[in-house]
Chains A and B, each alone.
Chain A
Amino acid sequence: MAKDTNVKHHEPLFHVVKRDDMPSWQAWLVRFATIAISFVIIGFISMSLTGKSFGDTYELMISGVFGTLFKGGSTIMLWKYLQEIAVLLCLALALTPAFKMKFWNCGAEGQALMGGLAAIFCMIEFGGKLSEPVLICVIAVSSIVAGAIWGVIPAIFKALFNTNETLFTLMMNYIATQIIAYYVYIEGGGSNVINPVSYGNFPKVGNNDYFVNIVVVAGLIVLMYVYLKYSKQGYEISVVGESQNTARYIGINVKKVIIRTMVISGALCGVAGMLLVAGKDHSINTNLVGGQGFTAILMSWLGQFSPIVMTIMTALIVFLRIGVSKVADASLLNSSFSEIIVGFVILMVVGCEFFIHYSIKFRSKKEVKA
Chain B
Amino acid sequence: MKKILAVALAALMLFAFAACGGDKTNTDVAPDDDFKVGFIFLHDEQSTYDKNFMDAAKAACDEMGVAYAQKTQIPESKDCYDAAVELIEVDGCDVIFADSFGHEAFLMDAAKQYPDVQFCHATGNQAHTAGLKNFHNAFASIYEGRYLAGVAAGLKLNEMIEAGTITAEEAKMGYVGAFTFAEVISGYTSFYLGAKSVCPSVTMDVKFTGSWYNEQLEKEAAEALIAGGCVLISQHADSMGAPTACENNNVPNVSYNGSTLAACPNTFIVSSRIDWTPYFKYMIECAQKGEEIATDWTGTIETGSVVLTDVNTAAAAEGTVEKLAEVKAQLLDGTVNVFDTANWTKGGETLTSYMADVDFDKNYAADTEVIEDGVFYESKHRSAPYFDLQIDGITLLDVNYG
A residues near B (Cβ < 8 Å) are 44-45, 48-52, 63, 67-68, 73-74, 76-77, 80, 181, 184-185, 189-193, 195-196, 209, 280-283, 285, 287-288, 290, 325, 328-336, 339-340, 343-344, 346-347, 350
Q: Determine which of A195, A282, A334 lies in contact with B45 in the assembled complex, contact meaning CB atoms within 8 Å.
A: A334
Top 10 A-B residue pairs of the complex, sorted by shortest distance between their CB atoms: A343-B7, A189-B364, A49-B21, A48-B18, A344-B11, A192-B402, A67-B90, A335-B44, A281-B77, A335-B72
B259 CB to closest chain A CB, in angstroms? 22
**Which of the candidate stretches B78-86, B144-152, B156-164 sits at the interface with the other chain?**
B78-86
Nearest-neighbour CB distance to chain A for B121, whole angstroms, equals 12
With A67-B90, A181-B402, A334-B45 as contacts: A51 and B22 at CB distance below 8 Å? yes
Hey, which chain A residues are within 8 Å of B3, CB to CB? 343
In the assembly, what is the distance between CA of A347 and CA of B10, in Å? Answer: 12
Which of B19, B43, B76 has the most CB atoms of chain A within a 10 A radius of its CB? B76
Q: Which of A74, A184, A192, A334 contacts B46 (CB 8 A)?
A: A334
A193 to B125, CA, bound (A): 12
User: In the complex, how many angstroms separate the beta carbon of A57 from the nearest chain B beta carbon?
Assistant: 12
Asked whether any CB of chain A lies closer than 8 Å to the CB of B179, the reply is yes
Is A67 in contact with B89, judged by CB distance below 8 angstroms? yes
Q: 15 A-B contacts, Cβ less than 8 Å apart?
A: A48-B18, A49-B21, A51-B22, A77-B86, A80-B82, A181-B402, A191-B101, A283-B105, A288-B77, A334-B46, A335-B43, A336-B44, A340-B14, A343-B4, A343-B11
Contact B78 A195 (CB under 8 A): no
Closest to A190 in B: B401
User: Are A332's CB and B402's CB within 8 A?
Assistant: no
Number of B positions contacting A (CB below 8 A): 50
A280 to B77, CA, bound (A): 8
Within 8 A of A (CB), among B7-48: 7-8, 10-11, 14-15, 17-19, 21-28, 43-46
**Is A49 within 8 A of B22, CB to CB?**
yes
Q: Is the CB of B102 within 8 A of A192?
A: yes
Provide the bound-state CA to CA distance between A196 and B14, in Å.
40
Shortest A335–chain B CB gap in Å is: 4
Establish whether residues B21 and A48, one from each chain, have CB atoms under 8 Å apart when the complex forms: yes
Bound together, the chains give a CA A335 to CA B28 distance in angstroms of 17
| A185 and B401 contact, Cβ closer than 8 Å, known pairs A49-B21, A67-B86 | yes
B251 close to A (CB within 8 Å): no
Q: How far is the CA of A68 from the CA of B14 in the complex (A)?
A: 30
B10, A343: Cβ atoms under 8 Å? yes
State the CA gap A196–B77 with chains docked (Å).
9
A191/B28 contact (C-beta < 8 A), A45-B14, A329-B69 known: no
Smallest CB-CB separation from B88: which chain A residue? A76
State the CA gap A77–B27 with chains docked (Å): 21
CA distance A68 to B90 in the complex (A): 6
| B residues near A190, Cβ cutoff 8 Å | 180-181, 364, 401
Distance between B71 CB and nearest chain A CB, rounded to angstroms: 6
In the complex, chain A residues whose CB is within 8 Å of the CB of B45: 334
Interface contact A332-B27, CB-CB below 8 Å: yes
**A185-B402 CB under 8 A given contacts A193-B76, A283-B105, A287-B77:** yes
> B23 and A287: CB pair below 8 A?
no
CB distance from A207 to the nearest CB of B (A): 10
Cβ distance B224 to chain A, nearest Cβ, rounded Å: 22
Distance of A351 from chain B, by nearest CB (Å): 9
The residue in chain B whose Cβ has the minimal distance to the Cβ of A195 is B105
CB distance from B145 to the nearest CB of A (A): 23
In the complex, are the beta carbons of B15 and A45 less than 8 A apart? yes
Contact of A76 among B27, B89, B102, B105 (CB under 8 A): B89
A202, chain B: closest CB distance, angstroms: 12
> Is B250 engaged at the interface, CB distance under 8 Å to the other chain?
no
A343 touching B364 by the CB < 8 A rule?
no
Nearest Cβ distance between residue A78 and chain B, in whole angstroms?
A: 12
Q: Is the CB of B75 closer than 8 A to any CB of chain A? A: yes
Taking a contact as CB atoms under 8 Å apart, the answer to whether B27 and A330 are in contact is yes
**From residue 179 to 208 of chain B, which have CB atoms closer than 8 A to chain A?**
179-181
CA distance A166 to B109 in the complex (A): 40
In the bound complex, CA of A137 to CA of B194 (Å): 57
User: Chain B 88-126, CB within 8 Å of chain A: the 1/0 string?
Assistant: 011000000000011011100100000000000000000
* Contact, CB under 8 Å: A347 / B7: yes
- The answer to whether A48 and B402 touch (CB under 8 A), given A285-B77, A343-B8, is no
